[in-house]
Amino acid sequence: MDAYSLLLLGGLLFIGTITSREDLHYGRIRNKWMLLALGYSVILTVLASLFLLANGMSLSKTYLIQYALNIAFAFLLGVIIWVAGLWSAGDAKLFLAFAALMPLSVYQQGYVQSFPAFTILVNTLVPMFVVYTAAALLRTTLKQKIAVLREVAAPAAVVRSMLIIFAFSWGGYLVARWIAAHSPLVNTVVAMLCGVIVLGYLLGKMGVDMAKVAGVVAAIALLTDYRNIATSHFLLSFTLTFVLAWFVRQFVLHLGYDVFSHPVFIEDLKPGMLPAENFLQLGERGIVFRKKKVLHFGFLSDFMEKTEGNLLFKAVREGIAREEAEKARKFHSERFLRHHTVRIYQTMPFAPFLFGGALLTFLAQGSIIALLA
């Protein structure tokens, strides 16, 4: 490994260690470390380029273009996930810092075109989900598992999920074909992920019922593209997507709900707590509240379910704001809010997991999924 890559990795180890420590002890990541990481990586890249030119060596323009695109896509995806409420602004900035500090030469397994740092995200989330699933399965009884299974296997919910996933599988299939033909620099998986998150966020904000939209899309698909839909490739892809989505979205997340959350009296709510329940304000006259589950990684819930009314806690992934905690106590004392408790998630700092994903990327020389496959 060349000196440039070693220096970048040294910076990654320093930033990863110090931000993980701060997130564990103080629950925040200071902006100065992000600015230091970006400034260090850019200056180091410029100096390495000048060194090559000064010594009459060839400068790889392809590497510089790929490096710049990688950082740009890391910034774009980080912002999109943050706006969708899936992680905090600090997590988005840390992901950008790791993308800038990871040498492109590391990504040997499962290289993602123009956005190899996407591998860091995969290597972070896959182990997290494995641990989450194992804990949910081991810390619940058979009776709890059966109860959750009965809850999530309602025919109407299964059909609704199947319809929505079918519509987006077909839409993703069309997008993938178009991107492959017109824009080779863009990775289809990343583009589809960004598209689904953005579309889901916008439709959620507009209060659109996804089942109705999916029904229209599915009808168009069957009428205009039935030959491609009938292929074994599409049907296998749709079936696997549905089974995985149902298992993750319905069974695992609902099973882990009671494991990773606990009730807290409304009078004891504090800023920064992560709510596992929200309060939906209904009705035009008076104030009526109804409890609503907030699942871990619950963007899929917001995406697949229409919400009518105003939510008491707005940015649940950032934690309860001070004004929201005060408002909840006020509504409770005035008996508008008749519930006495709200479930709160155990907090898990994300910076150490993201740092672990970056280290795993270096050790596996890329994607652990590609390595194991």
The answer on 110 and 54 residing in a single domain is yes
Q: What pLDDT, on the 0 to 100 scale, is given for residue 97?
A: 96
10-34 pLDDT, tens digit each: 999 999 999 999 998 887 888 999 9
The answer on 289 and 175 residing in a single domain is no
The answer on 41 and 27 residing in a single domain is yes
Q: What pLDDT, on the 0 to 100 scale, is given for residue 27?
A: 78
Nearest CA to 101 out of 67, 127, 78 is that of 67
The answer on 135 and 250 residing in a single domain is yes
Does any domain span residue 49? yes
Does any domain span residue 366? no
Q: What pLDDT, on the 0 to 100 scale, is given for residue 306?
A: 47
Asked if pLDDT for residue 152 goes beyond 90, the answer is no
Domain that holds residue 120: 3-124
Does any domain span residue 330? yes
Does any domain span residue 353? no
Q: What pLDDT, on the 0 to 100 scale, is given for residue 77?
A: 87
The answer on 139 and 254 residing in a single domain is yes
Q: Last residue of a domain, which of 259, 285, 301?
A: 259
* Number of domains making up the chain: 3
Asked if pLDDT for residue 246 goes beyond 80, the answer is no
Please state the rounded mean pLDDT for residues 324-349: 87
Asked if pLDDT for residue 305 goes beyond 80, the answer is no
Please state the rounded mean pLDDT for residues 223-251: 81
52-78 pLDDT, tens digit each: 888 888 778 888 999 999 999 899 888
